[in-house]
Amino acid sequence: MSYQIEPWQLRWHGLAVDQLRRTESTFALSNGHIGMRGTLDEGEPRGLPGTYLNGFYEEHDLPYGEAGYGYPEAGQTIVNVTDGKIVRLLVEDEPLDMRYGQALEHERTLDFRTGTLRRRTVWESPTGRVVTVRSERIVSFTQRAVAAIHYEVEPADDLQLVVQSDLLANEPIAQQTNDPRVAAALDAPLLSDFYVAEGTRAVLAHHTRRSGLRMAAAMDHVLDTPEGLNCSISAEADLARFTAAVDVPAGTCLRMTKFLGYGWSAQRSTPALRAQVEAALAGALQTGWEGLLAEQREFLDDFWEVADISLEGDDELQQAVRFALFHVLQAGARGETRAIPGKGLTGPGYDGHAFWDTEMFVLPVLTYTLPEAARDALRWRHSTLDKARERARVLGLQGAAFPWRSINGAECSAYWPAGTAAFHVSGDVAFAVSQYVTATDDRDFEATCGAELLVETARLWTSLGHHDRHNGFRIDGVTGPDEYSAIVDNNVYTNLIAQRNFLGAVAACEQHPAVASQLEVTPDELDAWRSAAEHMAIPYDELLEVHPQSENFTRHAVWDFENTPEDNYPLLLNYPYFDLYRKQVVKQADLVLAMHVRGDVFTPDEKARNFAYYEALTVRDSSLSAGTQAVLAAEVGHLELAYDYLLEAAFTDLHDLHDNVHNGLHMASLAGAWTALVAGFGGMRDHSGLAFAPRLPLPLTEFTFRMCFRGTRFRVSVRREDATYEIVSGDALELRHHGEPIKVKPDAPVTMPIPPAPSLPRPAQPAGRDPRRR
């Protein structure tokens, strides 16, 4: 069994209990604040149930055999909060359970245009009674604290039906961790503060033991049934249950809409949270089920107008790309001063932490399609500046050192080389700030948040690096994006991202002198940033004519790929890190990523040579890599290879290429599908102004992508011989097409010819590490 290939939805026909953990992730609904895994309505059978509130976590001790100065002490893990999805059905006292009786028909559909998860089941009970169940679930983009379920049951004969609707806290879950500290923290993590049930409404309020966060969940119900309805409601510490019983004649239907409200806070009281979720319910009831659906559709119609990518020639990829865009939207749409976790809110993978993935992979998508969501994610980083400053101080540095992984902004990575030493995270935040401001011209954000982020991260680099009379401004002892190389000197990606950081900080201070004065930026400090940027050390291997990923990297022995069994990937689970660190083997795009985001400092010949060199070393033991490799493959002329990498990025989750989708989807890889198409085959670059260099890969006959830039929405249609640029709404745009300036005006599309791609031999990958296409 597998997904049906359809352009605007993901549909699974038939029941496969062994695939539930996988489909619970792909069918997850979220708005960036509330996340609900796609479990069956009745709660069982299940794979890994989960309901999450962005930023709601529990603390636990971090494990160290030997502690050291500066090691983070507390870890953070996302909590499975009160589950409001559960709606159970009893048919003449027999519970509907897909493991019993017979599912005569069953399908579930995630609809990218309506933003809902639909279910239709025709079930025959063990005693032969037949009912048709239809349900539709929504997590609202427009009413941030609201979710809802519309549930219908139609019996084939006159039957008594009983519906039970639950709020369930501390749902028992088999923990997916080998760390007893984490398992203990998540064993019944919610302590009851309050519960009430009256009429058709119930509220449960809880708090966590160690993090001290408080949350409330509420439900209310609207029923449309035959006469003779009998209802009751009850509540206790961890369970509230609404029960409705009615005799339903054949040809009629029991209908119930369940409205849910969620809220949490680190500061507000339990009564305040109760008031918040009851107010959310009142708003949802006022809007009604049909109103929520209409609002959701209107929101998504607007999103797809600015974000859709249409493909001709590969129907399965078309579905995968829209699936990817829909889930990236869900991860960030209404986060609002919260992080965008690496798995979004689709599962507990990575403990619910946010990484640099957000700024370098997810935010470019949002910046050019839903910029207000990108702004809010950067505001979250700004809200954590005090923690980043404190982290830098502990490390003996100035400025702000943003964490490798976190939920609340404090570092909670227990692995020093790939955590604390990955200072590029701070540069990544600065890069995203500059990219957002350039794309939106949002000077208010730059003044209130962006400039301070740029200044404090620039200060980090001046204290971390130093001027060397032989090699310019050096940044030593860091870890770049490739986690198979650690504690290296002059990682090219890190140095170039720091260079961009310095230049961005200078520009922001010149744009906002009053802000610079408030931040006590002196003329000498500005001069120091300019000097460091101008003299940034960028290693180059003259003999090989390539850029080493970091100083002396190309002098290391090359990993023995030929004698590495396929079952030994990913390497980090089968070989000691010390061996990986001293060999030429690359976990994920590092120098290649530098050539994408700082392509303005590499020549075309350097890009082609570098790309070929690192193709032979990159094993892609990370889902982050394929999208970036697609971009550079397309740029240097390897269109077929680029297409293969696009497929790997797009199908990472739908085909479960890393065998871990049960823990949630890979937001960066989903974003990488957009990147591979827009920056790869669309050739979009934003180094200085907006530029495109589109080319069409052979499997496609045409593709069109949409974006927004400084309030103007436009689309680019790419064919074999030419590309057309057209304004959808807004003002004229000045762009570049394969280096040639063009001006696109409203109602005046511009069509430009596409020059032929360079003809280069396809580079080889390490043995057995070819792209995983489908």
Which residues participate in catalysis according to the annotation? Answer: 483
Query: Quick one: DSSP state of residue 323?
Result: H
- Residue bearing tokens 């959310």: 280
The CA distance from 34 to 335, in Å, is 9
User: Which tokens in the block code for residue 20?
Assistant: 């539930």
In one letter, which amino acid is 592? V
Cα 45–48–52 angle (5° rounding)?
Answer: 125
Whether the CB-CB separation of 411 and 403 falls below 8 Å is answered with yes
Helices 625-636 & 604-615 angle (0-180, nearest 10):
130
Cα 11–16–20 angle (5° rounding)?
Answer: 80
Bridge partners of 260, per DSSP, are 147, 219
In one letter, which amino acid is 583? K
The CA distance from 112 to 463, in Å, is 47
Selection from 481, 469, 487 nearest residue 431 by Cα: 481
Q: Is 767 exposed, middle or buried (0-12, 13-18, 19+ CB in 10 A)?
A: middle
Host H or E run for residue 507: helix 492-511
Whether the CB-CB separation of 742 and 725 falls below 8 Å is answered with yes
Distances, alpha carbon 438 to alpha carbons 431, 495, 689, in Å = 11, 21, 8
- Please name the residues in contact with 377: beta carbons below 8 A apart, sequence gap of 6 or more: 332, 335, 339, 340, 358, 362, 363, 366
Q: How many residues does the chain have?
A: 774
The CA distance from 685 to 607, in Å, is 15
The CA distance from 38 to 11, in Å, is 12
In one letter, which amino acid is 420? T
Selection from 338, 373, 375, 365 nearest residue 353 by Cα: 338
The CA distance from 703 to 557, in Å, is 43
Whether the CB-CB separation of 83 and 103 falls below 8 Å is answered with no
Selection from 235, 271, 30 nearest residue 139 by Cα: 30
Distances, alpha carbon 117 to alpha carbons 5, 253, 263, 704, 711, in Å = 16, 20, 22, 27, 32
Handedness of CA 605, 606, 607, 612 (dihedral sign): positive
Selection from 483, 584, 597 nearest residue 541 by Cα: 584
- Residue bearing tokens 């339903």: 248
Distances, alpha carbon 772 to alpha carbons 29, 53, 327, 641, in Å = 27, 34, 21, 11
In one letter, which amino acid is 469? R
